Amino acid sequence: MWGERAAAGFFEDVHVLIVVVLGMSIVLGSLAAAFTAHASARDAAALRGETARVLRAFLADPEIVHGGEPGLLDLASIEGLNSTHLAGLTGTGRPVQLIISERSGESPRTFALETADMGPRRASASTAASVWHSDLDVRAARVTITLGGQ
Amino acid sequence: MNNAGQSALFDAFLFFVIALVASATVLGYTSLSLAEDEGAARAEALAYAEDVRVALLRTTLDDPWYLDGAGERVSLGDGVTVERFLLDEIQLLARGLTPGNFAEANALILGRANSLVRPPFEVGIEGSLSGSAGMATVWLGSGTAPPSDRFTSSWTYETVDGSTATIEVHLWWT
């Protein structure tokens, strides 16, 4: 019934089976790891690109800038900025956080606005801009936009 | 183990080695494709240098001053931009004043620039004048000149006497 090799033939094949299963597991595991890493990197890159786009849109927003000059933010417009307007810049419904930190002038100010809870996945983009207080008082500032993932 | 069994085990080990090589190839390719594109990073740094230059040069200074040839303090009043001050400075340097005459305002400008620029960048500002009005150069930053691997945003101005003034903002990774 067991044939020429009897029961020992099966136990000899177990070694072969283990080596093959181990090899297949390594290949499938590495493929899964590569796919996961690639997918998360693609999502992160897309979020970073979107964040940079929102930052540029903010710095050129005609309702925010002074005299139509990109990067020259009007103080009154910043003070009157609300989360609805900020959320409208993204056009995707993602939560946004804006921080404008003045780096010059008497009593430098910091403005912060957030549309919703940012969540664990997020990307930031930051650049230099100016805040117009008056023609005699234009202050350098760091502008940072953080976008939450979905 | 008979000959057939040994042959099967050999085939299995051969398959195992091929599986290892294939896995290493897949993981190596993935890690290479995930590495940050250096070209994109440099383009981003150049755009940032441009933003820093524009923001810094239109920043106003609170009553900046310098010392004239006689050592007298010359106050320029509020509302003078960094750009205007640097352009005046390099023209006055070409006429014989020294960087020491502008040390206070230069330190203030460099402080503003350092405060504005985000890590991991370091900033330096260079101004130069060439033409009939003479030649002059001013450097605001650490060391005596920017490193060779840097990101520069520059702007050139024509002065009324036909000379050419240039203001450059350099950023480099620390």
What residue in A sits closest to B37 (Cα-Cα)?
A: A45
Mean pLDDT calculated for residue range A102-107: 89
A26-35, B26-35, B69-78, range with the lowest pLDDT: B26-35
DSSP3 helix / strand / coil % (chain A, rounded to 5): 45, 25, 30
A-chain residues near B26 (CB < 8 A): 30-31, 34
CA dist A86 and A113 (Å) reads 8
Residue A62: inside a domain: yes
Confidence bin at B134 (pLDDT 50/70/90): confident
Nearest to A73 by CA among A61, A89, A55: A61
A8-12, A89-93, A115-119, B10-14, range with the lowest pLDDT: A8-12
Q: Which two tokens stand for residue B166?
A: 């240039």
pLDDT of residue B67: 96
Interface contact A140-B116, CB threshold 8 A: yes
Whether chain A has a CB inside 8 Å of the CB on B33: the answer is yes
For A55-90, how does the pLDDT look when each residue is reduced to its tens digit (9 = 90+)?
999 999 999 999 999 999 999 999 999 999 998 888
Confidence bin at B4 (pLDDT 50/70/90): low
Q: Is B169 left (phi over 0), alpha (psi -120 to 50) or beta?
A: beta
pLDDT at A8 over 80: no
pLDDT of residue B47: 95
B-chain residues near A41 (CB < 8 A): 34
Mean pLDDT calculated for residue range B115-122: 94
Confidence bin at A9 (pLDDT 50/70/90): low
Number of domains in chain A: 1
Question: Testing the interface with B: which of A103, A106, A133 to mutate, by most B Cβ within 10 A?
Answer: A103
Q: What is the mean pLDDT of chain B?
A: 91
- Residue B35: alpha-carbon gap to chain centroid: 23
Whether chain A has a CB inside 8 Å of the CB on B72: the answer is no
pLDDT at A116 over 70: yes
Q: Is B79 left (phi over 0), alpha (psi -120 to 50) or beta?
A: left
Domain ranges of chain B: 1-174
Q: The domain containing residue A52 runs over which residues?
A: 30-148
pLDDT of residue A150: 67
Read off the CATH number of the domain in which A70 is found.
Answer: 3.30.1140
Size of interface A-B (CB pairs under 8 A): 111
pLDDT of residue A6: 56
Per DSSP, helices labelled H in chain A are 6-59, 75-79, 83-90
- pTM recorded for the entire structure: 0.83
pLDDT of residue A102: 96
Beta strands B151-158 and B121-130, pairing class: unpaired
CA dist A47 and A38 (Å) reads 14
What percentage of chain A has pLDDT greater than the value 90? 63
Interface contact B11-A16, CB threshold 8 A: yes
A40-54, B3-17, B65-79, range with the lowest pLDDT: B3-17
The continuous run of DSSP H or E covering B37 comes out as none
Confidence bin at A4 (pLDDT 50/70/90): low
